[in-house]
């Protein structure tokens, strides 16, 4: 049986939860099938600036506010979804470094063989400047494994890094990753993500139905499983 499709550009932060039943359950229940292009919010925004027009987006609240200003998204069409925190992950079964204080966090990064982080995602955009603020950028970056986008925890699996930095949900999207914890409270980064259809989309109803589905308890439970908190 063919399903009616609609397109979404979606931040990587929810990929683990989506693949863990959310997409399948929505398609089975409604007969609509989201066709998703996964990318960091920054990449999604650049594509929209270049003229790309998916039916809907799930990105950071800050980026959505920019689309509202440009009248690409209507202000009354936003659906709050999840709140995400940045943390550290290690390969399952390996030692968890102490990151309970800022000093301990710094030592963990300095003592790592290689720290993997993304240059394009929200976590990397925060983490790079944070290293500068902490005064350890040169030392950490000398052996860091930096990727343009994607899942940093994959570098744990390949042995290229022994610590991965990213949104908790993105770390958990890669099997075999254990969460050490979020950043210490004094330097933690909390990011909110919401969704919306684009104003000119002919499939706004399908996008809105999907966003409503994401706020149901069954979907919320999937998000929580991947370290995301409902807004």
Q: Which two tokens stand for residue 105?
A: 């966090």
- Amino acid 152: pLDDT: 97
Mean pLDDT of 22-33: 96
Binning the chain into helix, strand and coil, the percentages to the nearest 5 are 45, 25, 30
Name the band, by pLDDT with cuts 50, 70 and 90, for residue 2. Answer: low
Name the band, by pLDDT with cuts 50, 70 and 90, for residue 121. Answer: confident
163-187, pLDDT tens digit by residue?
999 999 999 999 999 999 999 999 9
At a CB cut-off of 8 Å and minimum separation 6, what does 189 contact? Answer: 85, 86, 122, 123, 126, 130, 183
54-99, pLDDT tens digit by residue?
999 999 999 999 999 999 999 999 999 999 999 999 999 999 999 9
From the list 149, 161, 154, 96, the residue with the least C-alpha distance to 122 is: 149
- Amino acid 1: pLDDT: 52
* Strand runs labelled E in the chain: 4-10, 32-38, 56-60, 79-91, 115-118, 145-147, 163-167, 177-182, 190-197, 229-230
CA–CA distance, 161 with 70 (Å, rounded to integer): 40
CB 185 within 8 A of CB 36: no
The three-state secondary structure class of 96 is: coil
From the list 59, 2, 56, the residue with the least C-alpha distance to 27 is: 2
- CA 160 from chain centre, in angstroms, equals 22
């Amino acid at each position: 049986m063919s399903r009616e499709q609609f397109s979404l550009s979606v931040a990587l932060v929810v990929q683990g939860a989506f693949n863990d039943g959310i997409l399948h359950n929505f398609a089975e229940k409604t007969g609509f099938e989201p066709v998703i292009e996964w990318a960091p919010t920054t990449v999604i925004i650049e594509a929209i600036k270049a003229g790309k027009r998916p039916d809907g987006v799930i990105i950071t609240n800050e980026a959505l506010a920019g689309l509202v200003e440009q009248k690409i998204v209507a202000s009354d069409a936003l659906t709050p979804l999840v709140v995400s925190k940045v943390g550290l992950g290690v390969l399952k079964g390996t030692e968890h470094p102490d990151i309970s204080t800022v000093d301990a966090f710094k030592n963990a990064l300095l003592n790592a063989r290689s720290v993997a982080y993304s240059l394009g995602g929200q976590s990397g955009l925060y983490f790079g400047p944070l290293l500068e603020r902490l005064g350890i950028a040169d030392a950490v970056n000398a052996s860091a494994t930096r990727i343009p986008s994607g899942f940093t925890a994959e570098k744990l699996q390949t042995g290229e890094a022994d610590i991965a930095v990213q949104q908790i949900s993105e770390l958990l999207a890669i099997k075999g990753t254990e969460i050490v914890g979020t950043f210490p409270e004094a330097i933690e980064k909390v990011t909110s993500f919401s969704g919306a259809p684009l104003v000119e989309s002919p499939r706004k109803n399908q996008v809105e139905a999907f966003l409503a589905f994401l706020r149901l308890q069954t979907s919320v439970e999937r998000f929580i499983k991947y370290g995301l908190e409902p807004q």
